[in-house]
Amino acid sequence: MRSKPYLGAALSSAQLRSERSSNMSGMFCCWLLFLCQVWSLHAASLDTLAQQSSIYYQHVPSELSLERVEQLTDVHSLKLIVHGFLGSRSHISIMPLRNAYQAQGFEHVLIADWSPAANLDYPSSRRAVGRVALVLAKQLEQFLERHNVSEEAVHIVGHSLGAHIAGRIGRYFNGTVGRVTGLDPALPLFTARSDDGLRASAAMFVDVIHTDYPLFGDLMPRGTADFYVNFGRAPQPGCEEVDLLAASKLILQAYSCSHNRAVLFYAESIGLPRNFASIPCSWKAIRSSSSCLKGLAAFDLNSTAIELAIGNMDDGQVVYMGEQVTRSATSYYFLETNAAPPFGQGVHAKFD
């Protein structure tokens, strides 16, 4: 007679598997809840730090918070400078801009300080871009309304992560600000689809200077006119040894000689507006670092005509990079620079 199977052990095994599955599910849910809480706390912390961002009016010899600025009249040009990662309103990476503007008699210069959120680890500072931009945009909006300044009079200049913040501020105003200038927009953790990245729609005119690809600077076209200085790549002339040190430290030390060159080039252009002559170039030539002179015919130009126009400082024929850039400039431009100041080659510009 066949004996009946004993079911007790089987039932115990099934129950055990069920309990283990239940425990694993419970542990997963606990970890998921924990991670969500940590993420929420981190986001809340970023919000708090972003709220500490402020804009300061540069009133020689000191500065004023925006609410302390007395009534301004007939403001035709307003500059707002935005620093980058690990920076502040007194950081060496943007002081050349402020000093150059003041030396040339620009009266209304503002500097944004988002140092509480900028001095974190890079991924956290990068995530703060949209939050910081919103805080600064609202402060700027209130300032413009209080002093009856048109949005068209506003020119926002941002470096590195600050270039993306500048773009987001511009888009807060639906692209109605007069101009946004991106000085070597930050590359790490940004793509063409990044919603908080600098775009040509940020202002009525957007010019971008590229100097530090593939370290900290982006090569991607992001403006109405994109200037690729020495093909936009590191090392820039004069930065060869310094950039090797920066590359070895990567994001741990967010200083690159080539990355900061964009600031120095632009600051120089404020006092020497025709020092950075450029020539139009195809995107294919920019990407491959090929000669742009060979493609001049596609733009109805030739090297002889370009040399003559540069020699005559004819800004009707030549597009100059920097503060006085021609607003009709579009697409991609190439230029070379010197290894030391003055960086611009002026009438001696070469495009080899």
Round to whole Å and give the CA distance between 101 and 271: 8
How many CB atoms neighbour CB 346 within 10 A? 15
Round to whole Å and give the CA distance between 175 and 170: 5
Residues 6+ apart with CB under 8 A from 278: 227, 318, 319, 320, 321, 333, 334, 335
Q: Which of 126, 129, 144 is nearest to 53 (CA)?
A: 129
How far is the CA of 22 from the CAs of 10, 17, 25, 35, 36, in angstroms? 18, 8, 5, 20, 21
Round to whole Å and give the CA distance between 144 and 75: 10
What tokens were used for 91?
């950081």
Q: Which residues are catalytic?
A: 160, 184, 259
Query: How many Å from the N-terminal Cα to the C-terminal Cα in the chain?
Result: 100
What tokens were used for 262?
């964009």
Residue 330: is it exposed, middle or buried by C-beta count within 10 angstroms (0-12/13-18/19+)?
middle
Round to whole Å and give the CA distance between 92 and 104: 19
DSSP string, 146-189: HTT--GGGEEEEEETHHHHHHHHHHHHTTT-SSEEEEES-B-TT
